[in-house]
Amino acid sequence: MGEILRLRVVTPDGPSLDEEVTAVTACSEQRGEFCVLPEHRPILAALGAGRLVATRPDGGSDEFVTDSGFFEGGPSHVNVITQRCVRVSDIDLSEVTEEIEEIEKELSGLEFGDAARGELDVNLGWARARRDAVDGGKAGEDIT
């Protein structure tokens, strides 16, 4: 029985992560955060924008933010296919806050049924997930 999972994260730009880990925590689209450990039964989940935490064999962890996608895992592996993945330590909170303000301003000028809202809503969710990963959700009380 293994004590290690092979974590692979792939985006449209190619592989972004391939590591051995002891646990993976991700954010499902419908049920919130969940954790997978070695020897987990097969799992398939739709991901929403949110944190991905990879626990290393040394006990430390690496935190990322993933966009929507899919999580597939089993007893010895986890595969994440997502639109975007970024390490939390690489996120600039002031840039993300400014991005959120710009998107919200654009959205406020659109009618409810406007076709442009779809992409803006997706981008707003991605920006808020990055902001919340950096500031612990303190500014994220207004999630729509």
Residue 15 has pLDDT above 50, yes or no: yes
Rounded distance, CA 66 to CA 80, Å? 9
Q: What is the mean pLDDT of residues 125-135?
A: 93
CB 76 within 8 A of CB 21: no
Residue 133 has pLDDT above 50, yes or no: yes
CATH number of 5-88: 2.60.15.10
Strand pairing partners for 73? 43, 78
Task: Give the rounded distance of the alpha carbon of 22 from its chain centre.
Answer: 19
pLDDT of residue 137: 59
Rounded distance, CA 29 to CA 26, Å? 10
pLDDT of residue 113: 80
- pTM across the whole model: 0.84
Helix (H) or strand (E) holding 62: strand 61-66
Residue 129 has pLDDT above 50, yes or no: yes
CB 85 within 8 A of CB 65: yes
- As a whole number, the mean pLDDT across the chain is 90
* Region label for 109, one of left (φ > 0), alpha (ψ between -120 and 50) or beta (otherwise): alpha
pLDDT, tens digit, for every residue of 54-70?
A: 999 999 999 999 999 99
Q: Where are the domains of the chain?
A: 5-88, 91-142
Residue 144 has pLDDT above 60, yes or no: no
Structure-token pair, residue 83 = 């639109």
Three-class DSSP category at 20: strand
Residue 136 has pLDDT above 80, yes or no: no
Residue 138 has pLDDT above 60, yes or no: no
